[in-house]
Amino acid sequence: MEILQGFVDAVVGIVKSSGIFTLQWENYVMIGVSIVLLYLAIKKQYEPLLLLPIAFGMLLVNLYPAIMAAPSTELLTAEQCAAQNVAIEGHASMIIDGVTYYENPTYGGLLYYLYQGVKLGIYPPLIFLGIGCMTDFGPLIANPKSLILGAAAQIGIFLTFTGAVFLGFTEAEAGAIGIIGGADGPTAIYVTTKLAPHLLGSIAIAAYSYMALVPIIQPPIMKALTTKKERSVVMEQLRPVSKLEKIMFPVIVVILIAIFLPDAAPLVGMLMLGNLFKESGVVDRIAKAAQNELMNIITIFLGTTVGATASGQNFLTWATIKIIVLGLIAFCLGTAFGVLFGKIMYKLTGGKVNPLIGSAGVSAVPMAARVSQKVGQQENPGNFLLMHAMGPNVAGVIGSAVAAGVLLNVVG
Amino acid sequence: MNFANITPILADTMTLAEKSISSAKVILTGFVVVFVVLFLLIFIINIYGFIIQKATQSGKKKKEKISEPEKKAPVVTKAANVPAAPAPSVQDGISDEVVAVISAAVASVSDSSSKTRIKSIKKSDGSRSAWANAGILDNTRPF
């Protein structure tokens, strides 16, 4: 009989602690959302390297919220300790109103600890290190004017800031929302953890969704703002860039940006370190590790834990909807200003610059450059804008890191 | 559960004037700083690019004077029945591996009974052939 009672008690205990009793409706909604995202990542292959871990982190935290729980200390009396089988020895104690309490630490969840790399701003610069190893700044060095397009595409960030402030977000929150327009995942995460960590889930998911949707969002804007004649401009071949120039580039950029804008130094510094690994040609092993193993490991941690910030209670708010709308506006504005500045350059150079490369000024490497290539080819199948668009594209990475530095400095 | 540190706070505490001032401040600073920094970069890249190009060009000119002027000959010239094959003239910048690959390709397609000699290996003048265009088209159309 006693055995049976024990069995029943155990089963009841398990059922009571199961999700069926502890989860709220928001969690179930988010479980549905995460499954849709998993479908998009696997079937539609929308940025699967990031979306898959993000979606799964989201799924995990809504099934088992304690996986993201922070460690804490609870105060127990001697009787409570005995009841919970907690050893008193070795625990710090304090006396409140004549009763002795023992400090009983509880440990945080798995993803809480992995999340510290996001929270403390460690992962995004390390991702930038890997990106630096994979980036060829040659097209930018050959045509430095493309930096103007990389800067123009950041205007969307600052205009969206205005929109966010007027919609009732605080300055810091508005800064984090605006940075979605930079179309650069690591930068968006870095800025958000510094300015508005409570919005991280929504902002990261908005940023990565729009980056995945670049081929759908950008072409209509590009076509609306340019004429057929402008789109069919064939640009001159870029000059070859010597190895020495490529080696000097990261060193010069990091000196310049870190001196003028120290807030951008962690991101730009790591980006340029990675690039120097690649271009110097003497640390091949390190360069390979940074762009493969390290980058992949960080991507797993970053994706999963960023997804895990999107618990139902956190994510299903009006703020998220506003962020998603504002993010889209930021993105469209960035694209539009890139193209408009491309048009200005088209006019100033007497028709030598194809304005379509301007839209690549939003980072989203290399997707945005491919979109320029694709839209250009629709007008003229023999036109190869890809390398020309890579200039503004990598300039956009530098540009959004600089914009991030400005935001951190002004509203941080 | 401790989500106290990440709960959304929507503090609508600023007045309209404050919001406008804050927005104008951020737009102006953002615009100016981003452009100034990137313009500085353009300036510096232009300068050092110019210097390095000058330096390498003057170096190249010296080299060109020493080597004979080369005609735009086809990449591989076939000459039958040459008893001793001297080393082909290989343009600077083409690695030994590439020479070996070209030689192997020529050997495999040419008739084994007739002797074949590679006279020179040069880089093409940069314009792409129809096949190269087709290849690039294929690789840059992923979606």
Assess whether A43 and A140 both reside in one domain.
no
Question: B38 vs A374: CB contact, 8 Å cut-off?
Answer: no
CA A85/CA A77 separation, integer angstroms: 12
Question: B38 vs A151: CB contact, 8 Å cut-off?
Answer: yes
Task: Report chain B's terminal Cα–Cα distance, integer Å.
Answer: 44
Option in B11, B22, B34 nearest A403 (CB): B34
Q: How far is B110 from chain A (nearest CA, A)?
A: 34
Assess whether A337 and A286 both reside in one domain.
yes
Option in A145, A168, A200 nearest B12 (CB): A168
More confident site: A154 or A84: A154
CA A360/CA A89 separation, integer angstroms: 63
Assess whether A118 and A232 both reside in one domain.
yes
Kind and range of the H or E run holding B121: strand B120-121
Statement: residue B112 has pLDDT above 70? no
A297-316 confidence digits (pLDDT tens): 999 999 999 999 999 988 89
Q: Any idea what DSSP says for residue A144?
A: T
Assess whether A45 and A158 both reside in one domain.
no
Residues from chain B that touch A386, judged by Cβ atoms under 8 A, are 140
A167-218 confidence digits (pLDDT tens): 989 999 999 999 999 888 899 999 999 999 999 989 988 988 888 889 999 9
Assess whether A264 and A163 both reside in one domain.
yes
Q: How far is A159 from chain B (nearest CA, A)?
A: 7
Among A171, A173, A348, most B C-beta atoms within 10 A, so best to mutate, is A171
Question: B5 vs A66: CB contact, 8 Å cut-off?
Answer: no
pLDDT at A331 (0 to 100) = 92
Assess whether A296 and A281 both reside in one domain.
yes
Tell me the residue range of the domain where A28 lies.
2-69
Question: A377 vs B1: CB contact, 8 Å cut-off?
Answer: no
Whether A230 and B6 have beta carbons less than 8 Å apart is answered as no
User: What is the predicted ipTM?
Assistant: 0.83
Residues from chain A that touch B45, judged by Cβ atoms under 8 A, are 140-141, 144, 147, 249, 252
Assess whether A251 and A136 both reside in one domain.
yes
Question: B143 vs A245: CB contact, 8 Å cut-off?
Answer: no
Assess whether A182 and A296 both reside in one domain.
yes
Assess whether A157 and A213 both reside in one domain.
yes
Statement: residue A36 has pLDDT above 90? yes
Q: With a threshold of 0.80, does the pTM exceed it?
A: no
Question: A242 vs B52: CB contact, 8 Å cut-off?
Answer: yes
Average pLDDT over every residue of A72-91 = 80
A240-299 confidence digits (pLDDT tens): 888 999 999 999 999 999 998 898 999 999 999 999 999 999 999 999 999 999 999 999
Statement: residue A236 has pLDDT above 60? yes
CA A302/CA A127 separation, integer angstroms: 9
Assess whether A327 and A239 both reside in one domain.
yes
More confident site: A114 or A86: A114
pLDDT at A219 (0 to 100) = 95
Assess whether A274 and A249 both reside in one domain.
yes
Domain count across chain A: 3
Assess whether A51 and A88 both reside in one domain.
no
Other Cβ atoms closer than 10 A to B40: 14
Average pLDDT over every residue of A66-79 = 86
Question: A411 vs B26: CB contact, 8 Å cut-off?
Answer: yes
Q: Any idea what DSSP says for residue A316?
A: S
